[in-house]
């Protein structure tokens, strides 16, 4: 009986150590992320829509958006809602893409010699055209080609049109 009680005490001790270890890891992760995920001034990336249309923004890091005619139409309702939330800018408004699309502001800061391509599409074209028609016509309305120096020169704000 004493051996059984000793075994139970040992198991409880081991479980408590494991529990404390897990708590310590969570706490350490929280502190690490809290310190390293801070917002740094200048990492914003604003696109201002001065048109009467709802627009969709498409980013490309290596080649111009206009050279990759592809269907951007989401296939499910959930994908569509995420697509709108992440990429759409309402008429006469602006959107900060700092944290959207993988942190565009952070990306261009971390790769100052790279070029970023940004395409603009009207949401109505994406909503009304079939994928085949969209690929064929590829109705891009505007495309920017920017570097870190370009974004600093325009105070991290691109204006369409």
127-136 tens-digit pLDDT: 999 999 999 9
Q: What mean pLDDT is predicted for residues 22-35?
A: 42
Same domain, 51 and 91: yes
Q: Mean pLDDT: which of 2-16, 30-44, 65-79, 82-96 is highest? A: 82-96
Q: Check pLDDT > 70 for residue 36.
A: no
Instruction: Please give the pLDDT value at position 150.
Output: 94
Which comes out higher in pLDDT, residue 40 or 150? 150
Same domain, 29 and 71: no
Range of the domain at 100: 46-160
Same domain, 4 and 72: no
Residue among 38, 65, 84, 52 at smallest CA distance from 140: 65
| Domain total of the chain | 2
Same domain, 111 and 69: yes
| pLDDT band of 30, cuts 50, 70, 90 | very low
Instruction: Please give the pLDDT value at position 68.
Output: 87
| pLDDT band of 37, cuts 50, 70, 90 | very low
For the chain, the average pLDDT equals 81
């Amino acid at each position: 009986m004493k051996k059984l009680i000793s075994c139970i005490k040992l198991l409880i001790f081991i479980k408590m150590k494991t529990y404390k270890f897990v708590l310590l890891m969570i706490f350490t992760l929280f502190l690490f992320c809290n310190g390293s995920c801070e917002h740094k001034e200048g990492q914003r990336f604003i696109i201002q829509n001065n048109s009467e249309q709802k627009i969709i923004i498409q980013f490309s890091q290596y080649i111009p958006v206009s050279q990759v005619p592809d269907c951007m139409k989401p296939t499910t309702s959930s994908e569509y809602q995420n697509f709108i939330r992440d990429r759409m800018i309402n008429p006469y408004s602006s959107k900060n893409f700092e944290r959207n699309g993988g942190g565009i502001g952070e990306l261009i800061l971390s790769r100052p010699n790279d070029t970023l391509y940004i395409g603009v599409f009207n949401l109505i074209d994406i909503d009304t055209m079939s994928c085949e028609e969209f690929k064929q016509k590829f109705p891009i309305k505007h495309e920017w080609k920017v570097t870190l120096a370009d974004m600093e020169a325009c105070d991290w704000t691109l204006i369409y049109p």
